[in-house]
Amino acid sequence: SGLITSTAAIPRYVRVNTAMWTTPQAIEYLTSHGFTLTDSYTSGASDSKDFAKDAHIQDLLLFAPQTSFADEPAYQTGKLILQDKASCFPAAVLAPPASDYAVVIDATAAPGNKTSHLSALMKNKGKASGFPLDARRFKTLKTMLDKAQCTNAVPVHRDFLTVDPNDGQYSSVTHILLDPSCSGSGIVNRLDYLIESGTKEDEDVTADRLSKLAAFQLKMIKHAMKFPQVKKIVYSTCSIHATENEHVVRDALLSEEAQANQFSLAPRNEALGSWSRRGLESEMASKEDAESVIRCSPGEDFTNGFFVSCFIRKEGCGVETS
């Protein structure tokens, strides 16, 4: 496979919003609107009307890169959501239960693609609280969740770090999705820019910025680990830098919060084991830890650059509560 250096070669990924209809219904609709379902995606002509089901993510469909959904009613009404494949990994790995008693937090929810994915996986049961930080993003999140009919999602305009883990409203949370601000260095368009403009000075600025981001990301994970009933925490970034990925996870595992609350990494078979690209072994404490986490390479995986890790409380070992 050739190097992908621009969005032109990345398929158009479309997630069927199963809160509103089923994937077979969406496929029937699309085929009656001029598209043709094929067995597997091959990056053919950019205006091809072929589409395919994704091999790793349920309810995700692949279309030719230039396919436009702007005028498509199913997109306009929230039944189809445009979402990069890698950014579907966090909710899929968190795999929140579809139970009336489920209590889930999306700690950094805005603009809301992952919250709506969580709602769909929970079949709109239980409660998924999403915390956007600023007012403008709170509005965006609310609009997004309304449009996607995420009836179990509750947007709360609040800084996640100020949420008291022992507050009665949240103390029973079992699953937390943490997709905090990062450098965004995995976003393909941005990579083109970085490659072109990378000077020594830029690199120094980047190193300083990366370590500040990493400190913030670690703080967020440690805060999530303080929730008394939490069994699973998924931490993700759209960064390609080990500083924000493997190093943050390594430091989180060594933290007092992880030790006191018995957190370890979920084994590979509980974290999208079928995905072959895993963490960088040289940047983690062990080969096993590196195998437990997921990387997406913008050059090779037909996605943006991305990183996903999954912490579980040892005694629970991935056992779902329902």
Of residues 182, 238, 296, 310, which has the active-site annotation?
238
Residues of span 153-172 touching ligand SAM by CB under 6 A: 159-161
CB 132 within 8 A of CB 138: yes
State the nearest-atom distance from the C-beta of 160 to ligand SAM, in Å.
4
- Binds ligand SAM by CB under 6 A, chosen from 112, 126, 155, 298: 112
Which amino acid would we find at residue 245?
N
Bridge-partner residues for 309, per DSSP?
235
Q: Identify the residue whose tokens are 């943490």.
A: 178
When asked if residue 108 is in the footprint of ligand SAM (CB under 6 A), the reply is yes
CB 90 within 8 A of CB 114: yes
When asked if residue 131 is in the footprint of ligand SAM (CB under 6 A), the reply is yes
CA-angle at 35, arms to 32 and 36, nearest 5°: 105
Rg value, the chain, Cα:
19
- Does residue 238 carry a catalytic annotation? yes
State the nearest-atom distance from the C-beta of 75 to ligand SAM, in Å.
16
State the nearest-atom distance from the C-beta of 109 to ligand SAM, in Å.
6
Residues of span 81-100 touching ligand SAM by CB under 6 A: 87
The residue range among 105-113, 252-260, 285-293, 308-316 that interacts with ligand SAM, by the rule CB under 6 A, is 105-113
From residue 305, give the alpha-carbon distance in Å to each of 83, 88, 163, 178.
14, 13, 30, 17
- Binds ligand SAM by CB under 6 A, chosen from 54, 59, 179, 244: 179
- Binds ligand SAM by CB under 6 A, chosen from 111, 273, 299, 316: 111
What is the DSSP code (8-state) at residue 163?
S
Task: Give the Cα separation of 251 and 220 in Å (integer).
Answer: 12
When asked if residue 133 is in the footprint of ligand SAM (CB under 6 A), the reply is yes
When asked if residue 174 is in the footprint of ligand SAM (CB under 6 A), the reply is no
When asked if residue 114 is in the footprint of ligand SAM (CB under 6 A), the reply is yes
When asked if residue 239 is in the footprint of ligand SAM (CB under 6 A), the reply is no
Whether 54 has a binding-site annotation, put simply, is: no
Whether 134 has a binding-site annotation, put simply, is: no
Q: Identify the residue whose tokens are 């699953």.
A: 175
When asked if residue 298 is in the footprint of ligand SAM (CB under 6 A), the reply is no
Q: Identify the residue whose tokens are 């700690």.
A: 107
Looking at the chain, how many residues does it have? 322
CB 252 within 8 A of CB 246: no
Contact footprint for ligand SAM (CB under 6 A): 87, 108-114, 131-134, 137, 159-161, 179-181
Would you please indicate which residues are annotated as catalytic (active-site) residues? 238
